[in-house]
Amino acid sequence: MIWNEIICLGDSLTYGARDRFGRSFPTELSKILYDKTKEFYVCHNYGVNGHTSSDLQRRAWSHLSSHSGSRITTLLIGTNDTKGPMPLEIYTDNLKQIIMSCKANGQTVILGTLPALNFSPYYIKNREYIAHYNKIIVKMADEHDCILCDLSGLEEHLIDGVHFTHEGNLEIANRFAKAILNA
């Protein structure tokens, strides 16, 4: 059997919080890639609810180095950074360090832009930071030769203003699959 590994780094959006079936975009990504290629993909889900880019920066190396067979990493992080908000220069450096850790471990990095937020009491004050962080994501993708995965226009799939319905996770997985298959 041919099999592949993909490392999926992120926060609750990667974890799949609020999916009514307890699934996630990494789970759906594995299925989509198998259906399209007939090769088995293990998508390791390293999404942690509530984590910021600083949290991910601290844990990324251990996840990456524990999967030497993987050559692809999806990265979707920053929604929780808006709560602070995380200063733009800190977010930029966190993202850079995570990307450099991926590259040092032989990974092709697929950076997901941050989906827009709807109303949520936890994020109401700093929702405009999504646009600031997305500019950084686009710039980092260009500077560090990463593949960009546009996750805009998904608001109809938000279940609580932040997290995605099952259909939203399917759409995110489809977008990452397209980026992977076109790489």
DSSP 8-state secondary structure symbol assigned to residue 113: P
Q: What is the pLDDT confidence band of residue 1, given thresholds at 50, 70 and 90?
A: very low
Give the confidence band of 161 by pLDDT, cuts at 50, 70, 90: confident
Domain count, the chain: 1
Pairing relation of β-strands 40-47 and 3-10?
parallel
CATH number at residue 159: 3.40.50.1110
pLDDT at residue 48, rounded to an integer: 98
Query: Which structural domain range is residue 54 located in?
Result: 3-181
Using CA atoms, how far residue 173 sits from 10, 31, 50, 140, in Å, is 14, 9, 21, 22
Q: Work out whether the CA dihedral 164, 167, 172, 173 comes out positive or negative.
A: positive
Enclosing H/E stretch for 149: strand 147-149
